[in-house]
């Protein structure tokens, strides 16, 4: 049985229609800047475009995606792409402390709260000491995102996402959010120390204790 929050072929053909691997260059650049060399996992990898980009750069990267349709699309594009079907929240087929960096881009909002916590805890397990996780998601207070994606299960706010990471054992959690695109919002956002209600995103990185 497919878990809630997982899209079908039509879903991925719609959301990925105008993307190629270069779309994910800013995320990969963030990993290279804020982590250290070692294996990279893309969790909730979709059709595997970030994995494809990382491999083009010679990086050891593999992806796991809950949707078998997305995995099939990725393999039609690149037959040898290291992209496998896996339901997040279930234990990853990875050894303890075997991965340096994990990306969860626009995926945690597609998991129910308990499944999301389980996915974060398992991410901590497979990361090496000092390893980094990067998570990007929309903020629950962003009116442009509410109801936009029928597969969303739980939209976070920045403080909630930071708390979820810290609760399973991550440290040095840093928010990297953007304000709403309203007139004057950026000024208010900075003036009031970036409150959740003015955030358009819930995005952060954290590290496994060394």
Per residue in 76-120, pLDDT (tens digit) is 999 999 999 999 999 999 999 999 999 999 999 999 999 999 999
What does the pLDDT read at residue 1? 47
Task: For residue 139, give every residue at least 6 positions away whose Cβ sits within 8 Å of its Cβ, in sequence order, or none.
Answer: 145, 155, 156, 157, 158, 177, 196, 199, 200, 201, 202
DSSP 197: G
Q: What separation in angstroms does the CA of 140 have from each of 110, 116, 117, 155, 165?
A: 13, 15, 17, 5, 17
Instruction: Answer whether 0.85 is exceeded by the pTM.
Output: yes
Domains and CATH numbers, the chain: 9-207 (3.40.50.150)
Q: How many CA atoms lie within 13 A of 129 on its CB side?
A: 2
Contact criterion met (CB below 8 Å) for 104 and 133: yes
What does the pLDDT read at residue 156? 97
Encoded tokens for 180: 């709403």
CA 10, 13, 18: angle at the middle one, nearest 5? 155
Strands 40-43 and 61-65: parallel
Burial of 155 from C-beta contacts in 10 A (0-12 / 13-18 / 19+): buried
Per residue in 110-149, pLDDT (tens digit) is 999 999 999 999 999 999 999 999 999 999 999 888 778 9
Contact criterion met (CB below 8 Å) for 75 and 16: no
């Amino acid at each position: 049985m497919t878990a809630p929050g997982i899209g079908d072929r039509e879903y991925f053909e719609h959301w990925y229609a105008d993307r190629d691997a270069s779309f994910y260059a800013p995320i990969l650049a963030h990993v290279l800047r804020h982590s250290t060399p070692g294996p990279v996992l893309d969790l909730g990898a979709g059709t595997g475009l970030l994995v494809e980009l990382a491999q083009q750069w010679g990086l050891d990267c593999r992806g796991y995606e809950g949707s078998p349709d997305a995995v099939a699309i990725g393999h039609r594009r690149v037959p040898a792409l290291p992209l496998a079907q896996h339901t997040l929240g279930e234990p990853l087929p990875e050894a303890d402390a075997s991965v340096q960096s994990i990306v969860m881009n626009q995926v945690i909002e597609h998991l129910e709260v308990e499944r999301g916590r389980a996915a974060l805890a398992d991410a901590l397990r497979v990361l090496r000491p000092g390893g980094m996780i990067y998570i990007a998601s929309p903020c629950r207070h962003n009116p442009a995102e509410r109801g936009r994606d029928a597969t969303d299960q739980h939209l976070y706010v920045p403080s909630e996402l930071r708390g979820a990471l810290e609760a399973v054992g991550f440290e040095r959690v840093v928010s990297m959010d953007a304000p709403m695109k309203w007139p004057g919002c950026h000024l208010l956002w900075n003036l009031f120390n970036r409150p959740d209600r003015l955030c358009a995103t819930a995005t952060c990185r954290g590290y496994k204790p060394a």
